[in-house]
Structure 1
Amino acid sequence: MSVDQHSNPFEERLSAALHDTGNVFEADRSALTDGGRTWGRRMRVRRRAAVLGGAAGIALVGVGGALLLPGGSGGGEDGRTSAASRAEVTAGAQGTPAPVSGEELIRTLKGLLPDGKFSGEEGRGTDSPLGPFAKVVYNDGKGPAAVGIGLQRVEPGGSQAREATLCPDKVLAPYDSCATSTLADGSKFMMFKGYMDPDRHTDTRAWSAVLVTPQGQMVSAGEWNSAAEKGEPVSRPAPPLSASQLRELATAPQWRAAVDAIPERAGKPSAASSTPPPSADGSAVRETLAGLVPDRLEVVSKGGQEEEYAYLVLDDGEGKSFVQINVQRDMRDVAHQLYGSAETLPDGTQVATQQGPGEKGAAGVVMWTVDTMRADGRRVVISAFNTGAQHEDATRDAPALSMEEIRTIALSPRWDDLT
């Protein structure tokens, strides 16, 4: 079985944050097992659309639709009522904003961009169960570029709201710049400039801006220096909008009104749904992992997320080695996709192992993984690399931990106290 735990944390954080409205199940092993990519979010069997959920910003939001959440509106030159203003009028008359169509979201996005030519327009309305988004291919005369907007409801003050504007750890993925700030109204804002591919095997740049208001309105704007985030050649040196223009796009008041038109079901579970048990505390996962590392290894750096995910960078004097872990609660519903013919221990624990290549584009990198699930569904999956950062070239022949040591750590009873 394939245990693909490595990847770009931005992409999955984006995807989880902007596309959580879906919870679409699919048997995608990398989605099931890529702990690093989730950047602090639970690994779930759901479609991972690269959405601008946080630090990575929209840079990774899939302009194709599944990634971006729909934007608000803005009246165009044709004088038609903007999506935001229409929602406000309806709210005043009926108390509940009317749905905003994908066409209105596209029109709003175009109205907020500088003069230019548009093509490749796609959108989905606020009443779509898959979540709203708008994207266009914009050309200001210097080359076509994808520009997208996504909207979502998040729990005010919740982990998703906090993570959405946290700059990522450069140990997990490289980027040029990232900055966060607090606006006058208390909203959190993040500006991110990075790349579609963390290993830089393409020159596609991905810039994004994320706004999260105290009311739980999340707006994500992203742009690329190509006509699509993937599959199209670079058409210009950089995305078309400057940092200030991208900020203006993300903070435009029209988007917040459009977020309010998203049905409650798109932003939070219904009252009838059960509350999931609390996830393992990320700091506890990190410290437990550090306490289980053999004494011969020095922990030179460590980090992770608020929940479930953590990493260490180890060194035995022969080069740095990146080690990451995900600790999850009941995952029995996907055990058949994760383990298959894996080894089963006398106590019912399933153990799957893999040794193979690591991040694409990182020369000589290997990844050794032990993925375990207790009989009650508690899952601990650990991957070790022969490099200090999984997107960088190998710094040693093999990971600092042997497969037997990884297995021993993953099967330690100390994890039972965290899940």
Structure 2
Amino acid sequence: MPEEQHDDPFEDRLGAALREAGGAFDTDRAALSAAGENRGRRLRRQRRAVVGGAVAGIALVGVGGALLSPWGDASGPHRASVASETTASTTKPTAKPTAKPVSGEELIRTLKGLLPKGKVSKAEGRGTDEFLSPYAHVVYDDGKGGGAVGVSLGRVEPGSDQARQATQCPDKVFTPHDSCTTSRLSDGSVLMLLKGYEYPDRRVDTKWWNAELITPAGQHISVSEWNAEAEKDAPITRPEPPLSAVQLKSLITAGAWRTAVDAIPEDPKKTGTAGTPGTAEETAGAPIGPVLAALLPKGLKVVGKGAPDSQFAYVVVNDGKGRSLVQINVQPDMSDVEGDLFGTGAETLPDGTKVATHQGPGEKGGSGVVMWTVDTIRTDGMRVVISAFNSGTQNTAATRKAPALTMKQLREIALSPKWRQNQG
């Protein structure tokens, strides 16, 4: 069974995704959200665009296979497998590959050959000469129960923010996990090994172990495995996934995968390389975390915070009544999706700023968790969306009756002129 996409609330910018999709989206404001960042997946992991818009509304384009390409977004077999289930795009790459194409059957044979002795079944794969990301997926049984194992391949710009994020351990506030390490190999490649769970709220104890490898040349190999024969909606067959961390490392560092990545056609839209003037990394504004902390009401103690970032920040606060997660996204140039994000029910202020609000259950399944959101967009397209929860994470049970900030306080933070000053 093809692998499914993990929940990745923050993907490559929503605005860019919507521009790429060019489709029509439900604009029901009932589920307006600013869901949290997920840095591990890159899978999931670490890409930042708010899930804004509607309930079934504005889906994150790029997590669905129709728009998934092998250039710079092969962050795990979850992505590749979703693509394998769609037929929305049959366009072939026009750029010439740097090596002979590798078929899906060849990738499957490679995966089988690299696995320890055992039974292999339910093999599926896609080659490097197709528009969507190449991958291989099997069910592997070492005699202790079958477990799904998948490999997906892609490219990223060496040294880019995306390359760094792909191998950056996720924040436990958004992606609960047992362990995660990032290390640099002797050849300069960076390897991340993560032992986590398929469902962040642990409603089913399906384990998901993931390895991400980025080489100095920008080759991106991702391996995932589960302690079930499919990552979702399948019975748990064994206590842990079949491959140990050592075996995962051996599998992902095999030279055959790098050869296959070299056979992926170059991105026909590629216009530059990492580190050149005008890249997102160089033009990004200052980290917004300090601004968020400065705008918090008095009486709130910050007991946790995220890493520095120019578009996303979170803090965990406690006013003596329990922990409360507060997160914010500041996104420039979102005018082209304003109609999708702000419907007829949105308030328009005298200066033209639009404001939409929502109070409802949290999205991640934590028991009793609610999420309060204020979403704003200025006339120049700068969007500021802030959410607060009545729990210290989105995935755990409520720790208090209501978030630590009121809707009025969230609104004041979202409309603060300091966001414009911070963006320069």
State the shift of 1:277 in Å: 5.7
How much is the aligned-residue C-alpha RMSD, in angstroms? 3.4
Q: Given the superposition, is the C-alpha separation of residues 375 and 329 from structure 1 closer, same or farther in structure 2, using an over 3 Å criterion?
A: same
Q: Quote the offset at 1:364 in angstroms.
A: 1.5
Structure 2 distance, partners of 1:389, 1:212, is 29
- Cross-structure match for 1:218: 220
Contact 1:166 1:190 in 2 (8 A): yes
TM norm structure 1: 0.80
* CA distance, structure 2, for counterparts of residue 143 and residue 382 of structure 1: 44
Q: Is 1:279–1:308's contact at 8 Å kept on the other side of the alignment?
A: no
- Partner residue in 1 for 2:78: 61
Distance verdict in 2 for CA 1:98–1:62, change over 3 Å: same
CA contact (8 A) 2:46 2:166 kept: no
Residue pair 2:10, 2:46 contacting (<8 A) in 1 also? no
Q: Is the Cα contact below 8 Å between 1:31 and 1:48 reproduced in 2?
A: no
For residues 120 and 213 of structure 1, the distance between their equivalents in structure 2, rounded to whole angstroms, comes to: 30
Alignment of 1:37-186 (within 5 A): 37=38, 40-43=46-49, 45-48=60-63, 58=76, 61-62=78-79, 64-66=81-83, 96-186=98-188
Check conservation: 2:324, 2:393, Cα contact below 8 A.
yes
Deviations 1:23-64 (A, max 9, x none): 65664888985342465423175232599x99xx84x82573
User: How far is the alpha carbon of 1:359 from its aligned partner?
Assistant: 4.1
Match of residue 197 from structure 2? 195
Aligned equivalents of 1:280, 1:28: Cα separation in 2: 32
* TM-score, scaled to structure 2: 0.80
Between 1:371-380 and 1:122-131, the stretch displaced more is 122-131
Which residue in 2 is equivalent to 1:6? none
Native 8 Å contact 2:21 2:61 kept in 1: yes
Contact 2:370 2:389 (C-alpha < 8 Å) held by counterparts: yes
**1: CA distance between counterparts of 2:47 and 2:98?**
31
Query: CA separation in 2, counterparts of 1:381 and 1:390?
Result: 16
**Conserved? CA contact 1:159–1:306, under 8 Å:** no
The 5 Å alignment of 1:328-339 reads 328-339=331-342
**Residue in 1 that maps onto 2:414:** 410
Distance in 2, matches of 1:399 and 1:360, equals 16
Secondary structure of 1:336's match? Answer: helix
User: CA, structure 1 residues 279+387, in 2 after alignment: closer, same or farther (shift >3 Å)?
Assistant: farther
Cα pair distance change 1:276/1:332, threshold 3 Å: farther
Give SS of 2:108's match. Answer: helix
Relative to structure 2, which stretch is displaced further, 245-254 or 354-363?
Answer: 354-363
TM-aligned CA deviation for residue 406 of structure 1:
0.3
Following the alignment from structure 2 to structure 1, what is the Cα–Cα distance between the partners of residues 263 and 226? 28
Residue segments in structure 1 that go unaligned for 5+ positions in a row: 1-8, 69-93
Residue 296 of structure 1, aligned match among 293, 296, 299 = 299
| Partner Cα separation in structure 2 for residue 23 and residue 10 of structure 1 | 21
* Residue-by-residue CA offset, 1:379-412 (whole Å, 9 max, x unaligned): 1111101111221211111111100100110011
Match of 2:402 in 1: 398
- 2:349 corresponding residue in structure 1: 345
Q: How many residues align?
A: 377
Matched residue, 1:240:
242
- Asked whether the 8 Å contact 2:304–2:315 carries over to 1, the reply is yes
Which of 346, 366, 369 is the aligned partner of 1:362?
Answer: 366
Contact preservation (8 Å) 2:288, 2:309: no
User: Which residue is 2:91 aligned to?
Assistant: none
Q: Distance in 1 between matches of 2:285 and 2:303?
A: 18
Distance change in 2, residues 1:280/1:309 (3 Å):
farther
Task: State, as a whole percentage, how many aligned pairs show the same letter.
Answer: 53
Superimposed CA distance per residue, residues 262-293 of structure 1 (whole angstroms, 9 cap, x where no aligned partner): 11117x6246xx96766885862111111111
Equivalent-residue separation in structure 2 for 1:345 and 1:326 (angstroms): 20
Cα offset, 1:14, TM superposition: 9.8
The AA in structure 2 aligned to 1:64 is S
Q: Structure 1, residues 186-224: CA drift from partner, whole Å, max 9, x if none?
A: 111111001001110001100011111111111111101
Q: Is the 8 A contact 2:11 2:49 kept in 1?
A: no
Alignment-derived partner of residue 308 in structure 1? 311
Report the AA paired with residue 144 of structure 2: K
Per-residue deviation, 1:156: 0.7
CA distance in 2: counterparts of 1:350 and 1:14, whole angstroms? 22
Distance in 1 between residues matched to 2:329 and 2:367, nearest whole Å? 25
Equivalent of residue 326 in structure 1, options 312, 318, 329: 329
Give the whole-Å Cα distance in 2 for the aligned partners of 1:110 and 1:13. Answer: 33
Post-superposition Cα deviations, 1:141-176, rounded to whole Å, max 9, x if no partner, equal 322221100111111111111111111122222111
Partner residue, 1:89:
none
Name the CA distance, whole Å, in 1 between partners of 2:11 and 2:106: 23
| Structure 2 equivalent of residue 372 of structure 1 | 376
Deviation at residue 10 of structure 1 after TM alignment: 7.9
Paired with 2:286 and 2:349, the residues of 1 have a C-alpha distance of 29
2-side partners of 1:262 and 1:32: how far apart? 36
Residue pair 1:281, 1:418 contacting (<8 A) in 2 also: no
8 Å CA contact retained: 1:137, 1:147: yes
Which letter does structure 2 place at the counterpart of 1:372?
T
